[in-house]
């Protein structure tokens, strides 16, 4: 079935259609590299308060769309809003990033899971504002952190005595207390499913699952911490009546990305910077892919940036592919380099 002329290019690719060029958007495309964002952000010192201000978050979401005309906007929010909805204290230290309080009892979180969407309804309000102002040919993306990635932050306090470093602590805790970690992941699956449903109801046309800390996991942990929770999350989202396509991003999963593509019911798989082109081709044979330009190369610009874009176009451009970075855009990326990418792929 052929889509209408106004159907966003991103949705065409996710439906398996051939397109004259890949749709393009960047992770963290709304943010600190834009002077207009820095001015807006300065109006609200507390980051979480900024994320939960629908008018300001909508403006941050729309700023890169006005400047660059990306094929999709992604709602301005943060993956650590879910722990807050589950009763864990969350705050951001200037120059240091997120901090979380002690992990509440997992048993007590169960009663909060179904209300996660309502608890974060401001994100839905942001999506509604953006959708009302976004051109119909541009897609709107909602997102959430994947259960394991969110758990790594939530477990920091609980695993404090086991080892140092957020991910090392959480992974050690997964070995030492697998039942407790599994129980937390189940809570996060349920809460995240309701959160994603709320976003779809508010106008998100695509939902992305960010598994930022899939890297370095042996295959048995990858199965228990990434594959199974993602399978459960996708299944639960569908049970709640959500029909929009899902993009999974198992960052750092290397060759396990093929298994992820085959076993998780997302409609596309986002690939990270280190994913070899040949692995990307194999994943693309299973379902559409997204990625995977190095953000540091985007920062550097110049002829090497053009060369890598051409390599990606040659390797993946004949199949269903969404052009993106392999990780988020960096705060000091020159705006001219973003324009260079868009011109090179024919999006400007």
Instruction: Read off the pLDDT of residues 74-132 as tens digits, 9 standing for 90 and up.
Output: 999 999 999 999 999 999 987 778 889 999 999 999 999 999 999 999 999 999 999 99
Is 156 noted as a catalytic residue in this protein? no
| Cα separation, 311 vs 293, whole angstroms | 10
| Cα separation, 101 vs 269, whole angstroms | 32
Mean pLDDT of 320-325: 98
Tokens of 137: 């040919």
Q: Given a cut of 80, is residue 4 above it in pLDDT?
A: no
Tokens of 32: 């600190």
Q: Show binding-site residues for substrate.
A: 28-32, 78, 153, 212, 327
Tokens of 262: 């085959």
Tokens of 244: 């929009």
Is 344 noted as a catalytic residue in this protein? no
- Three-state SS at 179: helix
Q: How do residues 9-57 score in pLDDT, each as one tens digit?
A: 999 999 988 899 999 999 999 999 999 999 999 999 999 999 999 999 9
| Cα separation, 128 vs 125, whole angstroms | 5
Is 41 noted as a catalytic residue in this protein? yes
Mean pLDDT of 289-295: 97
Is 38 noted as a catalytic residue in this protein? no
Residue of 33, 37, 71, 78 marked catalytic: 78
Task: Say how many Å lie between the first and final Cα of the chain, rounded.
Answer: 28
pLDDT-derived band at 159, boundaries 50, 70, 90: very low
Work out the widest C-alpha separation in the chain, in whole angstroms.
57
| Cα separation, 198 vs 113, whole angstroms | 13
pTM: 0.95
CATH class entry, domain 9-344? alpha beta
| Cα separation, 285 vs 65, whole angstroms | 31
Residue of 33, 37, 153, 173 marked catalytic: 153
| Cα separation, 216 vs 229, whole angstroms | 17
Q: Give me the chain's average pLDDT, please.
A: 94
Q: Show binding-site residues.
A: 28-32, 78, 153, 212, 327
Residue 216: what pLDDT?
Answer: 86
**What percentage of the chain reaches a pLDDT higher than 90?**
87
> Which positions ≥6 away from 319 have C-beta within 8 Å?
281, 284, 285, 288, 289
Is 84 noted as a catalytic residue in this protein? no
Domain residue ranges of the chain, discontinuous segments joined by +: 9-344
Residue of 41, 67, 99, 299 marked catalytic: 41
Residue showing tokens 């999974």:
248
| Cα separation, 80 vs 343, whole angstroms | 34
Residue 164: what pLDDT?
Answer: 45
């Amino acid at each position: 079935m052929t889509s209408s002329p106004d159907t966003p290019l991103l949705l065409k690719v996710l439906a398996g259609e051939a397109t004259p060029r890949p749709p393009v958007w960047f992770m963290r495309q709304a943010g600190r590299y834009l002077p207009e964002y820095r001015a807006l952000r300065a109006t609200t010192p507390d980051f979480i308060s900024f994320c939960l201000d629908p008018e300001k978050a909508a403006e941050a979401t729309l700023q890169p769309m006005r400047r660059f005309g990306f094929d999709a906007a992604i709602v301005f929010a943060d993956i650590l809003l879910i722990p807050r909805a589950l009763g864990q204290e969350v705050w951001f230290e200037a120059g240091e990033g997120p901090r979380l309080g002690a992990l509440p009892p997992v048993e007590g979180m169960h009663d909060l899971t179904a209300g996660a969407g309502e608890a974060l309804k401001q994100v839905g309000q942001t999506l509604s504002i953006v959708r009302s102002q976004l051109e119909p040919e541009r897609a709107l993306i909602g997102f959430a952190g994947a259960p394991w990635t969110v758990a790594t932050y939530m477990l920091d306090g609980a695993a404090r005595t086991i080892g140092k470093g957020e991910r090392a602590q959480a992974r050690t805790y997964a070995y030492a207390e697998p039942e407790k970690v599994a129980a937390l992941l189940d809570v996060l699956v349920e809460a995240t499913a309701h959160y994603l449903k709320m976003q779809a109801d508010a106008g998100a046309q695509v939902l992305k699952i960010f598994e930022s800390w899939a890297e370095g996991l042996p295959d048995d942990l990858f199965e228990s911490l990434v594959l199974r929770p993602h399978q459960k999350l996708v299944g639960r989202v569908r049970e709640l009546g959500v029909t929009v396509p899902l993009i999974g991003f198992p960052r750092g999963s290397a060759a396990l990305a093929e298994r992820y593509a085959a076993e998780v019911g997302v409609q596309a798989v986002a690939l990270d910077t280190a994913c070899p082109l040949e692995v990307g081709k194999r994943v693309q044979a299973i379902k559409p892919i997204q990625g995977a330009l190095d953000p540091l190369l985007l920062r550097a610009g110049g002829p090497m940036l053009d060369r890598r874009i051409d390599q990606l176009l040659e390797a993946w451009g004949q199949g269903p592919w969404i052009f993106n970075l392999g990780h988020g855009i960096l705060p000091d990326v020159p705006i001219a380099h973003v324009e260079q990418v868009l011109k090179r792929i024919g999006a400007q």
